[in-house]
Chains A and B, each alone.
Chain A
Amino acid sequence: MEPILDVKSITMDFGGLRALDRLDLDVQKGEIVALIGPNGAGKTTFFNCITGLYSPTRGDILITPPGKKTERINGLKPNHVTERGLARTFQNIRLFQNMTVLENVMIGRHCRTRTGVAGAMLRLKSAREEEQTIVDHSRAILERIGLSQFVNDLSKNLPYGAQRRLEIARAMATDPFLLLLDEPAAGMNAQETRELDNLIKKICDEDGISILLIEHDMKLVMSLSDRIFVMDYGRKIAQGTPEEIKNDPEVIKAYLGEDPDA
């Protein structure tokens, strides 16, 4: 079977700096894949390339949405990437701060709905019905993620952990087949991280959404992932199951540095 995301040898140059160097990565349907590596390894750059914020210098990004044909998505605008079923969260939370929690999720429905200016001004029947489905759908997602008590609060007033989960809720509202999470557990305490662990598993198992995540919390990575890719200096240095990665000498070297006595 085709992998739903197949990245082939992408390279990203910023001026003279090579941030990604011939990187390969794939995600199969129903998998949770983790991308790890030291700070500055190029993980977020990789996400930005896939989601269309950057256009990679070379290489191919192929997606195969369930029931559809394989498509190359290099250079597509971010909104077109999202329309095709890839959704993401951000490492430095990027919520719409002065909008309510519900509205944040409703924004996620934007690309799945149609109402235009005329429909909105005249409040046509189709527009009213569509608005109702947007509200209901968004509300259901919030309930599922466990944020329904905050519905009408401004998102900037939420506790930190809840903001991270709201980012996931917002991304889920776009009906993705692959969810890209950029450090979803950053800044969370142990309790919150455990809840997040369950949440991500639930999203993968019950909603059938595959997951690609960047994370520094090794316990979470080991517990969640089916496969792990390790990056350093823009290159892939290892890939495998959590067990294999734990014992990989290259990975240990990248994380702990070169042993001076060796």
Chain B
Amino acid sequence: MEYFIELFLGGLTRGSIYALIALGYTMVYGIIELINFAHGEIYMIGAFTALIVASVLTLLGFNELSILVIASLCAVIWAASYGFTIEKLAYKPLRKAPRLSALISAIGMSIFLQNYVLLAQTSDFLPFPALMPEFGFLEPYAHIMSSAEVIIVLTTALVMAALTFLIKFTRLGKAMRATAQDRDMALLSGVNVNRVISFTFIIGSATAAVGGVLIASHIGMINFYIGFIAGIKAFTAAVLGGIGSVPGAVLGGMVLGWTESFATGYVSSDYEDVFAFTLLVLILIFRPEGILGRSTTQKV
């Protein structure tokens, strides 16, 4: 039973990270129907930025709390800037092109960013400082769930709530929904579509950076390749929950997290990624609209 709870909570943490990255996928897909393959790389760049900033601040003698705050903030700012720039360079010129073109461009961008970090930094795994604080009152439960894991789960919940609020209740959210429904109509009714799409990339990238900082400081290791696998898994989570849906992304992330956690715990740890991919293939074949998605009839 203890083992079960351990796996359950492990899955919850894992799932929260997938959910954080999946949110960006789902938002971008919802608005321009593009799988932003470079999204995983944004997450990786967020983690790298945090690592670099934290290291510099440590050498300068800042205290732990201010390092955490400044490093996370920088990660979010730079990740958002990358997201914004990528959209302008690689996707905006292809809005009217066939979908295949945009998809290939996205894959190219993903490969480019991976190797950019590889060349500018290193191919080795770098140790990532434990930025997250330890809570004293959680000490007795540390064998089940560490403070870091609690923070990860809470942050995910917070980000999801904030995004839901943004999409449902703000002007920007309304504009986003309008753009997702029908870009030309939104344009005609005075929505600045370019700006809405830019904002979507910025917000999605920022959430990915949050995920990057959390997971990196939890696992304690990063390299240039972490974004690729995480990206595919987060995409799986987004599809699982129903792509385009914010609660769906979170639910999908959790389901995927638990699947991996239980499968590696009870079956075999060699095939961790195989379970995730198999789940993706099965979901796409049997319920491509996802758990929370609605099936839609293609427009003719």
Binding site for B on A (CB under 8 A): 14-15, 44, 48, 53-54, 90
Contact = CB atoms under 8 A, between A and B. Distances in A.
B297 interface: yes
7 contacts: A14-B297, A15-B294, A44-B300, A48-B300, A53-B300, A54-B297, A90-B300
A90 B299 CA distance: 13
B245 to A, nearest CB: 16
A237 to B, nearest CB: 24
Interface in B264-300: 294, 297, 300
Contacts of A90: 300
A53 B297 CA distance: 9
Contacts of B300: 44, 48, 53, 90
A44 B300 CA distance: 9
Contacts of A44: 300
A44 B294 CA distance: 23
A62 to B, nearest CB: 23
B184 to A, nearest CB: 13
Contacts of A14: 297
B71 to A, nearest CB: 47
Contacts of B294: 15
B244 to A, nearest CB: 16
A5 B294 CA distance: 33
Nearest to B295: A15
B122 to A, nearest CB: 45
Nearest to A55: B297
A181 B261 CA distance: 56
A14 B296 CA distance: 9
A186 to B, nearest CB: 16
A48 to B, nearest CB: 6
Nearest to B298: A53
A14 B298 CA distance: 11
The 6 closest A-B pairs by CB, nearest first: A53-B300, A48-B300, A14-B297, A54-B297, A44-B300, A90-B300
Nearest to A92: B300
Nearest to A51: B300
Nearest to A182: B300
Nearest to A47: B300
A179 B297 CA distance: 24
B266 to A, nearest CB: 40
B292 to A, nearest CB: 15
B99 to A, nearest CB: 15
A54 B296 CA distance: 11
Contacts of A15: 294
Contacts of A48: 300
A130 B294 CA distance: 45
B181 to A, nearest CB: 14
Contacts of A53: 300
Contacts of B297: 14, 54
Nearest to A48: B300
A44 B299 CA distance: 11
A42 to B, nearest CB: 13
A245 to B, nearest CB: 27
A165 B133 CA distance: 71
A71 B159 CA distance: 56
A54 B300 CA distance: 10
B242 to A, nearest CB: 15
A32 B283 CA distance: 47
Nearest to A53: B300
A48 B297 CA distance: 11
A90 B297 CA distance: 17
Contacts of A54: 297
A57 to B, nearest CB: 12
B211 to A, nearest CB: 34
A44 B297 CA distance: 14
A133 B68 CA distance: 74
B249 to A, nearest CB: 22
